[in-house]
Amino acid sequence: MDVCQIGDFDKSCAALQNAFRGEPSYWYLACKLQDKPLSLGINNSEAIDTLTYNFLKHYYDHGAQIMQSGNYTTIAIWTTPSLSVPMNRTSDESFNKIFFDNSLKVKETVIPKGMKYYYLFMIGKDPESHMKGTVRAMFELYIDKANTENCALVLEAISEHARDVYAHFGFVNYNTFQYGIGEVNSLGQLDSHGEGHTGYLMVYLPTN
């Protein structure tokens, strides 16, 4: 199955919007990373679609590798060892500590000194497509890049299912972290006693 850079921005955006619309943990992260109020509401499809568009546009404009497989069934946003796309710190310092500061410490500990890495900011499979093997094709390509170029692959899984999928491809979880505690419940609803969500910082190290 071919995996290549996108040629149709709108089609790519629609696939990602379909993949993440109404996903509680994604909703929280999208609001936080773009400094938008959680009060917009997880059921606000227009708002979450706009946040997804903003992510894709930001990475596209900064030259990230926006890849597609299966005729735009799966879309992935990768930064490369030679290109780090800036993501500004947010107005929430507690969030910054979890997602930026702690993450950096783990990566510096896990990834051998001097080794660069690809970072998977986002991957989504359009639920309207029933094509199989599109996610596998995407990861097989980048695992081959990692092994050939002696680079690591880094990502954050935002659900147990995603964690298990990435583990199947050889990613190892090096940091389980909680976010959104006291802000939202597991359904993404505002809740001052909410349990929030669980994330996993995962790294694939080259095998050669």
pLDDT of 105-124, one tens digit each? 999 999 999 999 999 999 99
Please, which residues have CB within 8 angstroms of residue 72's CB and are 6 or more apart in sequence? Answer: 6, 8, 11, 12, 15, 126
- Give the total number of structural domains in the chain: 1
Report residue 130's pLDDT band, with 50, 70 and 90 as the boundaries: confident
| pLDDT above 80 for 208 | no
Amino acid at the residue 106: V
Residues of the domain holding 75: 3-204
pLDDT tens digits for 178-200? 999 999 999 999 999 999 999 99
Token digits of residue 53? 């568009």
29-67 tens-digit pLDDT? 999 999 999 999 999 999 999 999 999 999 999 999 999
Asked if 14 and 160 touch (Cβ cutoff 8 Å), the reply is no
**CATH classification at residue 31:** 3.40.630.30
Confidence label for 86 from pLDDT (cuts 50, 70 and 90): confident
Task: Give how far the C-alpha of residue 7 lies from the chain's centroid of Cα atoms, to the nearest Å.
Answer: 21
